[in-house]
Amino acid sequence: MTPDVPTDDASVIARLERRLQRERQARLEAESLAETHTRALCEQTRRLELLEAVTAAANTDGDPLQAFQIALDRIASFTGWPVGHAWVAGPGGVLRTSGLWFDDGRHELQPFRTITRDMRFAPGVGLPGRTYAAGACIWVELLGEDPLFVRGDVARSCGLKSGFALPVHAGDRIVAVLEFFSVRMIAPDTELLRVMDQIGFQLGRVVERHNAQRANRRQHRKLARLAREASAQARAAEAASRAKSAFLAVTSHEVRTPLNAVLGMAQALSTQPMPQDQKALVGDILESGQMLLRLLNAVLDFSRIEAGQTLAHPEPVDLPALVDAVARMWAPSFSEADVQLLVDGKAFEGCRPVMCDRGKVEQTLVNLVSNALKFTPRGGEVRIRLSGPDQSSLAHFEVTDGGPGVPIEDRDRIFMAFEQTEEGRLAGGAGLGLGLGLAICAGNVRALGGQITADRDAEGRSRFSFSFQAPESSRALDVQPSPGPVEEPDGRLSVLAAEDNASNRKVLGLLLSQLDVDLHCVEDGAAAVRAVSERYWDLVLMDANMPVMSGPDAVRAIRALGPAYRDLPIHMLTANVLEEDVTAYLRAGADGVLQKPIDVGRLFHVISTAGHAPPEKAA
């Protein structure tokens, strides 16, 4: 295809020159394209950097105003526009100054700043208001000539020519408007506005985050306050409950001391010869005093239960015999109230005793029987039923009465302390009006590892039932020390009593006058220690609270006198009989504790055993 072309040098040169010219032309064009592309790339990079900076600020700054200031600075330096300002939206979308400005320090701008500071823009009014209403950027090419630009005159006098504003979107609201002004007239730049739109959304995120955090903090503070209140209320409730128990315990203790005197005196009086009508009166005094005593004991039991101090002490127990004994004890009261008491122990198997805490079972049963009696009208019937042990070695007690029973909604509540049904309150019940009886039952049954419930039997009669672990006992029944006839001691017993209360000393004297005892009293612990060290005693009865030296301290001191004093029988005789007190006494060296008001039988028992102790001469 090679064409015919002139091959002379001039033609060749001419052709080559033309080729060169074309090459040069192509190169120039290529360079021009390259420059254009490079510029475009640079612009794009700067726009990206601007967006990146604003986004970074939006993501890290917690304070929206700080992010706005950064945005103002960055946008102004990117665009080269010397003036930037931020409006914040208030209620109703009214824009007011945020106080944030960017300017490069031109003094001529002062009037513009001043007028801006005092202005408010409603939605749709002025550049800021129109931007707010449109939700998009707005560009004003010539500020002085745009009638919609409210600050036109001031702007013109300050040398400001063009302006644009961008909205800051937070969620679906516009929370701010940023505006920028230049001293040159600049035509709208769509690329720039596109970036500004994005910036508006990025900045909005700071505001959203800020608001969310504030809401979070408020919520957190509220929750913390509620938690504090709840825990304060819980503590107050606990404190109130503890205070109730403590009050009861203290009161009961304070009452015991004079009650001891009353019962003791009355008992002593009852042994003296007197006409029948006077004897009857003394009998009444004793009965009322004993009722008082029962109440006090109930309170003490309850306070022990509340303090969680009840442990079960299992021993071999003949349950049918226990039921019979309770029935016999209550028989007179039932016949007087004209209520029938029936015992059904046929469903109980086994002749062997079972291991359980006798005292707790008996007290629970007695409380339930007492309640049943109170609630059953004349001519009615109360049934005690014992059954078991079943496959799980549980023994079951049921006490059904002729009373109105417990409404379903109250059945859990009544086993709590101080809780009673309406009828219960009126009738008194085993808690004697305080609502403690069933709480004591519940505490006992808990200690026995069992359950107690209130419901109705198949015939619809009110029924209380409790069950507990009753494994067969391998041991034989313990022989109970009977408070029966007292063995005469060998010779007169010498008994030292330390008691600071005069009437208690008198009671003790009266009680022991029935026996052949040589009683000496001292009034404080120190005197007791002195007396022990000076001569021999068969038995020391020690009160707990005394002046000069307390009972336990005195016991410790006596034991420390020497090895000979280890075997000296010392029994506390005191109204302080909480479990922690008893533990303390025994640890101090006491041999036992006699509760006030004095149980005469137990006192005599202690004395009779003391009498058998081999006499030890004092060192």
Partner 1 sequence: MKGIVFNLLEQVVSDHYGADTWDSLVDAANVGGSYTSLGNYPDSEMEALVAAACSALSLDRATVLKWFGVNAMPLLAKAYPELFEGHPDARSFIDGVNDVIHSEVRKLYPDAVCPHFRMANADDGDLMIDYRSSRRMCALAEGFVAGAAAHFGDTVDFTHETCVDRGDRCCTFRLRWMPAGADAVAA
Question: Quick one: angle between helices 437-447 and 276-306, nearest 10?
Answer: 50
CA distance 235 to 227: 12
CA distance 121 to 135: 15
Q: From the list 2, 190, 276, 482, which residue makes contact with partner 1 (rule: CB under 8 A)?
A: 2
Question: Quick one: angle between helices 525-534 and 551-559, nearest 10?
Answer: 20
Cα dist. 448→323, 390, 466 in Å? 17, 16, 10
Q: From the list 1, 187, 351, 458, which residue makes contact with partner 1 (rule: CB under 8 A)?
A: 1
Q: From the list 8, 9, 13, 23, which residue makes contact with partner 1 (rule: CB under 8 A)?
A: 23
CB of residue 174 to partner 1, shortest distance in Å: 35
Q: Which is nearer to partner 1, 14 or 274 (CB)?
A: 14
Q: Which is nearer to partner 1, 21 or 213 (CB)?
A: 21
Q: Which residue has the tokens 């939605």?
A: 123
Q: Which of residues 523-582 bind partner 1 (CB under 8 A)?
A: none
Q: From the list 17, 27, 562, 564, which residue makes contact with partner 1 (rule: CB under 8 A)?
A: 27
Q: What are the start-end ranges of the E strands in 258-304?
A: none
Q: From the list 22, 220, 225, 313, which residue makes contact with partner 1 (rule: CB under 8 A)?
A: 22
CA distance 194 to 50: 12
Tokens of 460: 């619809």
User: Cβ-count burial of 485 within 10 angstroms (0-12 exposed, 13-18 middle, 19+ buried)?
Assistant: exposed
43 forms part of the interface with partner 1 (CB under 8 A): no
Which segment (31-39, 65-73, 179-187, 289-297) binds partner 1 by CB under 8 A? 31-39
Which segment (32-40, 279-287, 356-364, 379-387) binds partner 1 by CB under 8 A? 32-40
Query: Mask: binding to partner 1, 474-503, rule CB under 8 A, as x and -?
Result: ------------------------------
25 forms part of the interface with partner 1 (CB under 8 A): yes
- CA 381 distance to own-chain centroid: 45
Q: Which is nearer to partner 1, 25 or 59 (CB)?
A: 25
Q: From the list 13, 19, 239, 487, which residue makes contact with partner 1 (rule: CB under 8 A)?
A: 19
Cα dist. 337→148, 332, 404, 429, 438 in Å? 103, 9, 17, 15, 22
CB of residue 41 to partner 1, shortest distance in Å: 12
Q: Which residue has the tokens 């309170």?
A: 299
Q: Which is nearer to partner 1, 22 or 194 (CB)?
A: 22
Q: Which is nearer to partner 1, 28 or 212 (CB)?
A: 28
CB of residue 219 to partner 1, shortest distance in Å: 51
Which segment (26-34, 216-224, 400-408, 583-591) binds partner 1 by CB under 8 A? 26-34
CA distance 436 to 284: 25
Do residues 521 and 497 make contact, with C-beta atoms less than 8 angstroms apart? yes
CB of residue 191 to partner 1, shortest distance in Å: 15
Q: Which is nearer to partner 1, 34 or 560 (CB)?
A: 34
Which segment (27-35, 166-174, 317-325, 594-602) binds partner 1 by CB under 8 A? 27-35
Tokens of 599: 């149980």
17 forms part of the interface with partner 1 (CB under 8 A): no
Strands 592-595 vs 138-140: parallel, antiparallel or unpaired: unpaired
CB of residue 5 to partner 1, shortest distance in Å: 5
CB of residue 25 to partner 1, shortest distance in Å: 4
Which segment (33-41, 141-149, 265-273, 503-511) binds partner 1 by CB under 8 A? 33-41
CB of residue 31 to partner 1, shortest distance in Å: 9
Q: Which is nearer to partner 1, 27 or 220 (CB)?
A: 27
Q: Which is nearer to partner 1, 38 or 216 (CB)?
A: 38
Residues making up the chain, counted from first to last: 619
Q: Which is nearer to partner 1, 22 or 352 (CB)?
A: 22
39 forms part of the interface with partner 1 (CB under 8 A): no
Helix (H, G, I), strand (E, B) or coil at 82: coil
Strands 539-542 vs 570-574: parallel, antiparallel or unpaired: parallel
Q: Which is nearer to partner 1, 30 or 230 (CB)?
A: 30
30 forms part of the interface with partner 1 (CB under 8 A): yes
Q: From the list 15, 39, 117, 413, which residue makes contact with partner 1 (rule: CB under 8 A)?
A: 15
Q: Which is nearer to partner 1, 35 or 104 (CB)?
A: 35
CB of residue 40 to partner 1, shortest distance in Å: 10
Cα dist. 69→61, 76, 103, 178 in Å? 11, 11, 11, 10
10 forms part of the interface with partner 1 (CB under 8 A): no
Helix (H, G, I), strand (E, B) or coil at 351: coil
Which segment (1-9, 147-155, 402-410, 549-557) binds partner 1 by CB under 8 A? 1-9
CB of residue 8 to partner 1, shortest distance in Å: 14
Cα dist. 292→258, 297, 299, 431, 553 in Å? 11, 9, 11, 12, 31
Q: Which residues contact 38 (CB under 8 A, 6 or more apart)?
A: none
3-state secondary structure 491-558: CCEEEEEECCCHHHHHHHHHHHCCCCEEEEEECCHHHHHHHHHHCCCCEEEECCCCCCCCHHHHHHHH
Applying CB under 8 A, the residues found at the interface with partner 1 are 1-3, 5, 15, 18-19, 21-27, 29-30, 33-34, 37
